Amino acid sequence: MTLPSAIGVCPDLRQETFELPAQAVSVADARNRAFDRLLQWGVPVDVCHTARLVVSELFANAVLHTDSDRIGCLLHVADGQIRVEVRDQGSYASTPMLLFPGAEEERGRGLQLIETLTHSWGVESAGRGLGHIVWAVIRS
């Protein structure tokens, strides 16, 4: 006997979350976890590399620019798209935004890279005093 599918469940949906300490050494762990999981889910290798770079940039920004103790990451794959969310606990000096640093500046290009590599991206408040969620969508 075959049971009917649950209403609203997408058979192609794949989702995973993980949380790591807000430390520089966690950035490599985050990007490797994302790459490995997406590869296991059958996402094309070139798209896995793109997602790996996106996770790395967003996670590094949260480590560098917030006072978080822990940082969370969500990977959501459905309908030919990958949504990456990085949630911090802390507060930014300001809301993350796209910058255009001069040629001599060593930092400030991370969100330019995100802008180039993704279909869309944005920043949402996780709630008053609860940090931010920076998300990006990659088409696979």
Per-residue pLDDT tens over the stretch 14-57: 999 999 999 999 999 999 999 999 999 999 999 999 999 999 99
Residue carrying the six token digits 């209403």: 7
- pLDDT mean over 111-119: 86
For residues 88 and 131, the answer to whether their CB atoms sit within 8 Å is yes
Query: What topology is assigned to 14-99+106-139 in CATH?
Result: Heat Shock Protein 90 (3.30.565)
Mean pLDDT estimate for the chain? 83
Residue carrying the six token digits 């969310």: 85
For residues 37 and 43, the answer to whether their CB atoms sit within 8 Å is no
pTM for the full predicted model: 0.80
Instruction: Find, among 138, 83, 91, 88, the residue nearest to 115 by Cα.
Output: 138
Task: Give tens-digit pLDDT for 83-104.
Answer: 999 999 876 555 665 555 555 6
134 by Cβ neighbours in 10 Å (0-12 / 13-18 / 19+) ranks as buried
